[in-house]
């Protein structure tokens, strides 16, 4: 139950005040990698991580974050942005060389703020000045952890019957298993 901030699901937009707009950990509007990493470090290993350091691998849109305890890497997360990096991850997975406990995947190189529907110049190129300005505005929004959101807490209490209920396991958790190659999925080219 690492959580998603679902507060907007319970509010009408005309009821939202300026103080209601919050964000999760992270410098940009990407996914929840930083929040999940810090939460997992605390819950699984009792380590309170204040700052995480991304290590660029093949390029700036394929980065890794690790947690070490007693000289051993105990958590390995990756952020893969853009289809080329996603394809490389899938190939590693197919070859059995997938080392990650969690991967954040975003289709747009540079993350969500750099998406096709976002800041571009008239000739269709990224507007770097506007992108930097959007990142600054986003970074100024206060951080609120999803698990501290009263709407999320109410959802767990009223709808999911508690944090560790059977309904939580059935609704929010899943298991994955290997799929046998068949003729119908051989035509997918990664």
Structural domains in the chain, sorted by start: 22-114 (3.40.950.10), 116-170 (no CATH)
Q: Which residues pair with 27 in a beta bridge?
A: none
pLDDT tens for the chain, 190 residues long, are: 334 444 444 444 455 555 566 666 665 656 688 888 998 999 999 999 988 888 988 888 888 999 999 999 999 999 888 888 999 888 888 888 888 999 988 887 776 666 666 667 778 777 778 777 877 877 787 777 777 778 888 888 998 998 889 998 898 888 777 766 665 555 555 5
DSSP, residue by residue, 116-166: TTSSB-TTSSB-HHHHHHHHHHHHHSPB--GGG-HHHHHIIIIISSSTT-H
The whole model's pTM is what?
0.66
Sign of the dihedral defined by the CA atoms of residues 40, 42, 46, 48, in that order = positive
**DSSP for 58-101, written as a single string:** EETTEEEEEEEETTEEEEEEEEEESHHHHHHHHHHHHTT----S
């Amino acid at each position: 139950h690492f959580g998603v901030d679902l507060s907007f699901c319970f509010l009408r937009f005309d009821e939202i005040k300026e103080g209601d707009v919050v964000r999760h950990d992270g410098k940009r509007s990407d996914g929840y990698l930083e929040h999940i990493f810090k939460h997992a470090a605390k819950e699984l290993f009792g380590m309170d991580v204040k700052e995480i350091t991304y290590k660029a691998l093949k390029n700036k849109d394929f980065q890794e974050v690790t947690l070490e305890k007693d000289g051993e890497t105990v958590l390995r997360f990756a952020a893969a942005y853009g289809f080329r990096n996603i394809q490389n991850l899938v190939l590693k997975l197919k070859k059995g060389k997938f080392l990650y406990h969690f991967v954040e995947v975003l289709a747009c190189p540079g993350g969500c703020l750099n998406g096709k529907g976002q800041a571009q110049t008239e000739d269709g190129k990224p507007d770097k000045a506007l992108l930097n300005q959007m990142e600054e505005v986003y970074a100024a929004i206060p951080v609120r952890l999803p698990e501290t959101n009263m709407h999320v807490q109410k959802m767990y209490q009223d709808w999911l019957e508690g944090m560790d209920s059977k309904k939580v396991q059935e609704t929010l958790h899943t298991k994955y298993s290997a799929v046998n190659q068949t003729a119908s999925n051989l035509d997918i080219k990664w």
